[in-house]
Each structure stands twice: as structure tokens, then as C-alpha cells.
């Protein structure tokens, strides 16, 4: 089935119930990073602001931000980015009686995530819709952002599938942290992740040093890009994205080993760089990372305005083995254009690749034969590992 974007229906602002409503009130910022009293706190729901006789829909929205009047536009802004003199929308009513109208009925009800999904839920239909959506985004200039936790890069088949998805245009940006990138590079450098062989999952001798050795090597040469350019990394999603010139943003944590040179330790700058990518996003897929998925769920707009003036949803999928994680992200997303999938993340990635990249008539036995061919000659001893192609 071909995917079709849902239609957003604007309110009839010529109707008396809207035409007679007042315009927004404005307060001026007196100190950088400090909002005026009674500022309006934004939500993910499409919100119109009445100014100069018109109802304005911002180009993007975001949760727990402020609305700033900039000329004849409304720009949704983080409090930390406010500058002295900015004109901030004031109010606490969302029914239009203060010039602020939160409009939940623009998209059809089907756009909202039903509550109560659990690990026992069948996700077959959700998979099919995701595959159709990913194909649509690829063919129509969408921007598919993946948010990865470190466990995703610990598995042979998952790394292989991620590479193929990227090579075939289904990954347009990657967001993550130091651990995810470190262990992916470790896999491409030493064929281990956290000291375990990527394929056999056996601990190699002194393997607990491997990710630290990797960090030392990258920091010595100066950058991930130069480390890959020198031929040190055989495979992995970071190498693939680097070779394809697909952007990735790595945000630091309070206890990062190393970290890698490209990891952004300045929280404000990490948020800014992440937001640049999220403002382009049309589909977000968060996998096995509660904190990164929650931050993205808060920051990313729930809709985008296309070049022809139409309003479309920004879809988000969160995949995790734990119900609590996907439920937290659903709430942060206000259940709009959101799909939770409670499943093994390795299986999820492989399923995506098989549906979108591999020929439909390729049998499971054929896959197994290919894997056997690729891994002939792999020895369990670290110093004898060779021939692995992920």
C-alpha cells in the first residue's frame, strides 16, 4: 500500500468565533536567557497566534519553549536562547481568548497514538506502516533521523543492516552519544564491542582495554574523519555515514570515556546542533536509548510546513525492549504522530533492512548461506580474526 500524508485542515478563521478573538499580548526580554513574567509555555500541538489581524502558525514547534514575535512571524525559541529586547508571547489560555489557539483537530484522529500498547501487542501493522513511510520519505525528499543507543552497534547483523539502510538512502542523519560511536568504531577497528567479538560475542583477552585503545588512537590522530581516512576502520555505521557524507551529531554525557574528539561536551552547543537536524526531520526513529529519545521527543517539532504551504506531521517511532521507555517518550511527544514498538532492537533493524533493501524473493536459507560465506575463516582468537565483512 502506498503511503499518503494525512491532510491538515485549518480552522475557518473567517468564522465569528475566531474573528472576534483578541490578539496576543507581548512582554519584552530584559535580560538574555530570562523570559518575562507570564510567558506562554509551548506544547507540541499545532498552535496559532493572532497578530495584526492574522492567525500565524510557526514553521516549527517544540515542547516547553516560548513563542517570540519576530516581525510578522512567530518563532518558537528555547528560553536559554532569548536575547534582550525579544518580544515574547504572554498568556496561559489556549482557547484563543488570549490570542493563542492550540488546535488539536487539524490532523485526523488516526494521527494520535492509542494508549495501552504493551509488550504483548502485535506490531506487524506498525512495521508495515513504517516501511511504507520510510519509502515515501526517501522518494519525496524527506529527512529520516535515527537516534541510536550503544547496544544497537553490538551485534553483527544489526551493524550490517544499518550500513545497508544508510547506503540505500534510509538514514539522513544520526544522533547519539560517545558510547554508541566509540563501540561502533571499536567494532570496525578491532572487531569487538566493549571487548566482545562482534559476531561470536565471546570476550577476547584483555578486551576491556579495546574501547579505550580505540579512543586513544582516534584522539592521537585528531578526529574520527582522519582516523577513518587512514584506513583504520573496516566497517560500521559511522564509517558508512562518513563515507556518504551523512551528518551525525554526538552529544556528550557527564561520564564519557575519552571522549571522541567530535563529541560535543558543551550542552548548549549540543542542543543547538541537534536542533538543526531535528528542524529538517520528517521521520525520527529512536532505538534503545531513553535519554536521547526523550530529549529528541521534547525538541523536535511535531509538524513541518512544506514548500507548498501544507502542514504535515513529523513522525516518531521509539523502539525499546522496555515498556516504560516507550511510554515515557510517548507522553513527551504528547502522543502525536508517535508509534511505540516494544521489541528487540536488533530484530527491528534487521527487519527494516530486509523489507526495504533485500529482494523480496531472497529466502532465509539464502541469507544464511551468504553469512556463512562472509564469515568463513573467522577465528575466535582476537589476533586471528580476519575476513569479517559487516
**Mean pLDDT throughout 346-369?**
71
Q: How much of the chain, in percent, has pLDDT values that exceed 70?
A: 91
The DSSP-derived string for 34-46 is BPPTTBPPP-SS-
Chain region(s) in the chain for CATH 3.40.50.10690: 109-357
Over pLDDT 90: what percentage of the chain?
85
pLDDT at residue 162 is higher than 60: yes
Residue 235's SS3 state is coil
Q: pLDDT tens for residues 190-237?
A: 999 999 998 888 999 989 899 999 999 999 999 999 999 999 999 999
Mean of all residue pLDDT scores within the chain:
91
How many other C-beta atoms lie within 10 A of the C-beta of residue 30? 12
pLDDT for the residue numbered 237: 97
Residues ≥6 apart with Cβ < 8 Å to 380? 197, 200, 202
Q: Indicate the burial class of 312 (C-beta count within 10 angstroms; 0-12, 13-18, 19 or more).
A: middle
Protein fold of 109-357: Rossmann fold (3.40.50)
Cis peptide before 259 (omega within 30 of 0): yes
Please give the CATH number for the structural domain made up of 16-102.
2.40.420.10
Looking at the predicted structure, is the pLDDT value of residue 145 above 90?
yes
| Mean pLDDT value across residues 42-47 | 96
Neighbours of 353 (CB within 10 A): 19
The pLDDT score that the predictor gives to residue 65 is 97
Section 336-358 average pLDDT: 94
pLDDT tens per residue across span 373-387: 443 343 443 444 333
According to the model, what pLDDT value does residue 117 have?
82
Q: What are the strands, taking DSSP E only, across 57-191?
A: 66-70, 73-77, 87-90, 100-102, 144-148, 173-177
**Residue range(s) of every CATH 2.40.420.10 domain in the chain:** 16-102
Amino acid at each position: 500500500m502506498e503511503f499518503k500524508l494525512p491532510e491538515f485542515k485549518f480552522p475557518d478563521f473567517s468564522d465569528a468565533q475566531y474573528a472576534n478573538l483578541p490578539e496576543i499580548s507581548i512582554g519584552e526580554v530584559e535580560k538574555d536567557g530570562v523570559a518575562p513574567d507570564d510567558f506562554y509555555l509551548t506544547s507540541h500541538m499545532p498552535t496559532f497566534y493572532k497578530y495584526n489581524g492574522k492567525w500565524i502558525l510557526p514553521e516549527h514547534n517544540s515542547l516547553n519553549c516560548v513563542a517570540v514575535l519576530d516581525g510578522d512571524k512567530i518563532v518558537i525559541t528555547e528560553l536559554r536562547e532569548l536575547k534582550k529586547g525579544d518580544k515574547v508571547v504572554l498568556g496561559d489560555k489556549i482557547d484563543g481568548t488570549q490570542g493563542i489557539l492550540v488546535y488539536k483537530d487539524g490532523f485526523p484522529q488516526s494521527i494520535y497514538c492509542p494508549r495501552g500498547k504493551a509488550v504483548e501487542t502485535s506490531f506487524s501493522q506498525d512495521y508495515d506502516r513504517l516501511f511504507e513511510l520510510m519509502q515515501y520519505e526517501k522518494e519525496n525528499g524527506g529527512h529520516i533521523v535515527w537516534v541510536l543507543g550503544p547496544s544497537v552497534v553490538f551485534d553483527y547483523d544489526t551493524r550490517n543492516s544499518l550500513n545497508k539502510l544508510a547506503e540505500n538512502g534510509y538514514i539522513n542523519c544520526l544522533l547519539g552519544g560517545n558510547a554508541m560511536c566509540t563501540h561502533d568504531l571499536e567494532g570496525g577497528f578491532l572487531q569487538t564491542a566493549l571487548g566482545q567479538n562482534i559476531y561470536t560475542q565471546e570476550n577476547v583477552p584483555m578486551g576491556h582495554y579495546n574501547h579505550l585503545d580505540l579512543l586513544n588512537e582516534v584522539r592521537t590522530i585528531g578526529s574520527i574523519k582522519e582516523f577513518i581516512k587512514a584506513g583504520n576502520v573496516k566497517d560500521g555505521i559511522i564509517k558508512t555515514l562518513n563515507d556518504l557524507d551523512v551528518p551525525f551529531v554526538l552529544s556528550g554525557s557527564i561520564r564519557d570515556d575519552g571522549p571522541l574528539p567530535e563529541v560535543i561536551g558543551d550542552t548548549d552547543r549540543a542542543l543547538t546542533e541537534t536542533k538543526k537536524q531535528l528542524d529538517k526531520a520528517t521521520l525520527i526513529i529512536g532505538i534503545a536509548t531513553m535519554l536521547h529519545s526523550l530529549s529528541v521527543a521534547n525538541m523536535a517539532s511535531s509538524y513541518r510546513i512544506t514548500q507548498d504551504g501544507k502542514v504535515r506531521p513529523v513522525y516518531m517511532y521509539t523502539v525499546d525492549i522496555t515498556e516504560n521507555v516507550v511510554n515515557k517518550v510517548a507522553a513527551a511527544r504528547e502522543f502525536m504522530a508517535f508509534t511505540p514498538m516494544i521489541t528487540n532492537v536488533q530484530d527491528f533493524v534487521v527487519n527494516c533492512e530486509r523489507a526495504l533493501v533485500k529482494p523480496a524473493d531472497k529466502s532465509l536459507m539464502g541469507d544464511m548461506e551468504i553469512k556463512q560465506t562472509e564469515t568463513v575463516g573467522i577465528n575466535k582468537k582476537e589476533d586471528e580474526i580476519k575476513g569479517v565483512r559487516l
